[in-house]
Amino acid sequence: MAHRSWPLFDLVVRTPLLELRHPDDEMCERLASAASSDMFPEGENQFHLDWTAEDSPDRERHSMQWWWRARGTFEPDDWHLTMAVVVGGEVVGCQDLRAKRFPLRRSVSTGSWLAPGAQGRGYGSEMRQAILHLAFAGLDALEAHSSAFATNERSIRVSRTVGYEDNGEEIALRGEIPTRSLLFRMSRERFEERRRDDIAIDHLDACLPLFGLA
């Protein structure tokens, strides 16, 4: 183990196309540089907060603070796991996994983004399947949730492609604008039906206590 005090730095999820790695500060800087205001080809922000519209270097500084905060507030009953998406040694995006009261509820939710140059290459579906493999095969989750604004066609397509089922809708705030958001759910049974045998997880055992799992 290279990081006994924070073993998440050693956690890796590997697929034939990419790796998910918990980012250290150097990798967080690379992530901050990869994000940009032209992330959405249609030009319409698809995040709850339009953080990509900030000017540099404020965007990068606030991004670093966001990743530090996710690390600093990581607790077994309320955690937010950030994973950098790495393709051929290059950091191209971020895939998140969140949960509250996970040892009891076994329920997670996901979020993600890809740099403009990495879009349209199949990485969106691949990174989602990788994080679902970590959740279900690695952490023994019972269900996974995701959502997307109704205008975010790419995210909706990824959710349905990897096997999420429609789970209703709600009104969420995009900035301060009420916007229709579609909800999706992946059950453990659904995951097992589609489970892949070419995804591997490295160095998870040392991380389990951080998730509240002995």
* Ranges of residues in the chain whose predicted pLDDT is under 50: 48
Does 138 fall in a domain?
A: yes
For residue 55, what pLDDT is reported?
65
CATH of the domain at 189: 3.40.630.30
For residue 48, what pLDDT is reported?
46
Does 1 fall in a domain?
A: no
Does 103 fall in a domain?
A: yes
For residue 38, what pLDDT is reported?
62
What are the CA-CA distances from residue 173 to residues 76, 129, 164, 196 (Å)?
28, 27, 23, 35
Does 183 fall in a domain?
A: yes
User: How far is the C-alpha of 86 from the C-alpha of 118, rounded, in Å?
Assistant: 10
- 123-137 confidence digits (pLDDT tens): 999 999 999 999 999
Range of the domain at 74: 7-211
Average predicted confidence (pLDDT) for the chain: 88
User: How far is the C-alpha of 69 from the C-alpha of 110, rounded, in Å?
Assistant: 17
- 77-108 confidence digits (pLDDT tens): 999 999 999 999 999 999 999 999 999 999 99
Domain total of the chain? 1
SS3 track for 94-139? EEEEEEECHHHHCEEEEEEEECHHHCCCCHHHHHHHHHHHHHHHHC
Q: What is the pTM of this model?
A: 0.90
User: How far is the C-alpha of 154 from the C-alpha of 134, rounded, in Å?
Assistant: 22
Position 42, amino acid: E
DSSP 8-class letter at 75 = B
